[in-house]
Amino acid sequence: GAVVSQHPSRVICKSGTSVKIECRSLDFQATTMFWYRQFPKQSLMLMATSNEGSKATYEQGVEKDKFLINHASLTLSTLTVTSAHPEDSSFYICSALKDYEQYFGPGTRLTVT
Amino acid sequence: DAKTTQPPSMDCAEGRAANLPCNHSTISGNEYVYWYRQIHSQGPQYIIHGLKNNETNEMASLIITEDRKSSTLILPHATLRDTAVYYCIVGGINTNAGKSTFGDGTTLTVKP
């Protein structure tokens, strides 16, 4: 099966700082990756679609200048939460598309203090 | 993409079959039905998908009604490790429902 990793798995940062989360497809190349956010006891919410070599497509209501997405290679997409605030604390999950199947990463728990 | 409706929770006895229903009455002709599950604090795991025929793999079976307006995921012999939130979503094959909406899902609790 295909494996997707995320790093870090957990991160605590201070309000106002920026945090970068990496999403890697370990054994396949992914032209398309997705970023989701999940608040406690809620479902996954799609934030953006990341396409290798082009700009990400953001869902309505997601600030592209706050959540910077870079998909510079076929195996790596990064999500940078800029000027993080406590309300950005959440579980961030990425997924990568391979052969029309979506493989999810294990998630990154972000806590902003 | 079409939306789905699932019961919020279900219980199942260990070793018995778990039948999880999903309504997707507005599904369009080219949309697939996908099932994922999410164990607490982990990323979702793909289970199965189908268009109109029933499907079976090593994890589960998917039964889709003839009118495609509903489906049922069947875990034939549920174990305690199957306790999770199960999501039924519909979407196009080209993104594997990547842009589809994850509803609230069904929390399945398998009890000893």
Tens digits of residue pLDDT in B74-85: 999 999 999 999
pLDDT over threshold 90, residue A99: no
Facing residue for B95 by CB, picked from A32, A43, A91: A32
Q: Which pLDDT does position A102 carry in this prediction? A: 82
Strand partners, A97: A102
Residues of chain A contacting B, Cβ within 8 Å: 4, 6, 32, 34, 36, 42-46, 49, 91, 93, 95, 97, 100-107, 109
Residues A62 and A77: their CA atoms lie apart, in Å, by 17
Could you give the CA distance from residue A96 to residue B87 in angstroms, rounded to a whole number?
18
Convert the pLDDT of each residue in A35-86 to its tens digit: 999 999 899 999 999 888 888 999 999 999 999 999 989 999 999 999 999 9
**How many residues belong to chain A?**
113
Contact residues on chain A for B36, CB-CB shorter than 8 A: 104
* Token reading at A32: 């398309």
- The one-letter amino acid code at A69 reads I
For the ranges A10-14, A21-25, A102-106, B27-31, which has the lowest average pLDDT?
A: B27-31
As a whole number, the mean pLDDT across chain A is: 93
Residues of chain B with pLDDT under 50: 96
- Alpha carbons A70 and A50: distance in angstroms, whole number: 7
Whether the bond into A8 is cis, omega within 30 of 0: yes
β-pairing, A10-13 vs A108-112, is parallel
Chain A CB contacts of B84 below 8 Å = none
Q: Is the pLDDT at A101 greater than 80, yes or no?
A: no
pLDDT at B41: 85
Q: List CB contacts (< 8 A) between B44 and chain A.
A: 44, 93, 95, 104
Mean pLDDT of A4-21: 97
Q: Looking at residue B100, what is its pLDDT?
A: 65
Q: Give percent of chain A above pLDDT 70.
A: 98
Bridge partners (DSSP) of residue B110 are B12
Do the bridges between strand A19-25 and strand A32-38 make them parallel or antiparallel, or are there none, so unpaired?
Answer: unpaired
Mean pLDDT of A10-28: 96
